[in-house]
Chains A and B, each alone.
Chain A
Amino acid sequence: MRFWHFTEMPYPYLPEPESYDSVRVTLPNQIYDPLIGSDLYNRYLDELMLADGLGFDIMTNEHHQTPTCMDAACPLVLAILARQTKRARLLALGNPIANRRDPLRLAEEMAMIDNISRGRLECGFVRGVPTEIAPANSNPVRMPERMWEAHDLILKAWTTHDGPFSWEGRYFHYRNVNVWPRTYQQPHPPIWISASTTGSVGEVAERGYVLAIFLSGFKDARGFFDVYRQRYAQRPAVAASKASGNGRAAEPKVAAPDRFAYLALTCVGETDEIGLQGVRKIMWYMQTNKVAPQFRNPPGYSTLATNVRAMRGGGLPTLRPVGQMTAEQLIDRGVIFAGNPDSVYQQIKRFSDETGGLGNLIIMGQGGFLSHEETVSNLTLFAKEVAPRLKELPGTV
């Protein structure tokens, strides 16, 4: 099992939720103090550097118009890490390609990062959560179609080496596509895609990409992984080799654990109590979720069936439905991992066993008000006391 460290780079110093309508999209940035924020950026980068030294791989993401994630440009943070880190794989999870107007620019950014890091990039593509729609002014209808067209264009741009080609698609138009530099990894960096509904898993499986699931708990994750395994096994032989995406010559018909990734809030302490105290601070991320309904569910983002359920009082699709639960309840569901090193190991092992084998564990090892010292302790304990034992689990490399 590979293990990845992730922080959303939060700016946690917010007024009381009663004083604002929505923490995302509309919260005025007068609340942001550049003196505090610049220190936070540098602190979070220090912690990512530490993670590299401790043996973690590193995941980054981006969100817009929100204090919950100061990383508004995932390629910028990756560019710093590409140069400054020594060994970690560098994962963008992801690039919101249904919301980025210029996919070719993204192909260039990723190719540069892959070269500067000498082939350490793992490139994730995401559709983006509903609250990204308004900041991007992006049409919420037919987003998956737009995302896949951007994906197809980027892949073709990365793998075409004999000069310009033309692209006149529904959403993107370029008459002279000829990306420099080509990627360091051949044919291109490994690709990851996240999913929040099982309906979108099939296309990920058919291409053999890494499927990433966030904070679902093991029961739902098992469902996602099973859909993936089923669709993966059904891939036609020719398509399988063509869709490899990761440079492997022959794709097995059984999806290996390295095709699966799961993100959980994680805090390791010397004792269970210290780990729990730490994870409760990271849980700020789940609890800081006051979002106006109109930004949480733009028309066309969710299926009609989901909307009917919401109108029936089943609640709108929320960013973090787990926001009201206790740390203990979340541990029980496999949404967070916390406690002393042995407890955390056992929780991760249980998750892997319950989901049929997990090859990539992404820990949100920093979040909310978890301090620098606490983050250093968390990452160090994880790397020294938990990670060595993960080798006993499937999918270890």
Chain B
Amino acid sequence: MMAKSRGFSLREHDIHYKSGIIWRKTVSLPFNRIQHVELESGPVERIFKLTTLKFFTAGGGKADMKIPALGFERASKLRSFVMEQAGVVENQDTSVAP
């Protein structure tokens, strides 16, 4: 039931993550605001070969979005996809700027 209530969705320009059964929370994060991405596996996660993907923006402090318990393969795929998206946007930005 916990697992069912959580999920992420990717759109063309942003990523969303929702969580919570009683208190529902949705975080939206546009690709062109992502500063860096982190993969982290706790000891329990390592046993099950899972990992947590963390996204950081310039908002400071802790991770702005955390997607827990992803399979390792899937996590790194998602990471490279997001990084690529962020990079593409970045390039567009600099090419547009005078």
**Chain A bound to chain B:** no
- Interface of A with B (CB < 8 Å)? none
**Which B residues are closer than 8 A to A by beta carbons?**
none
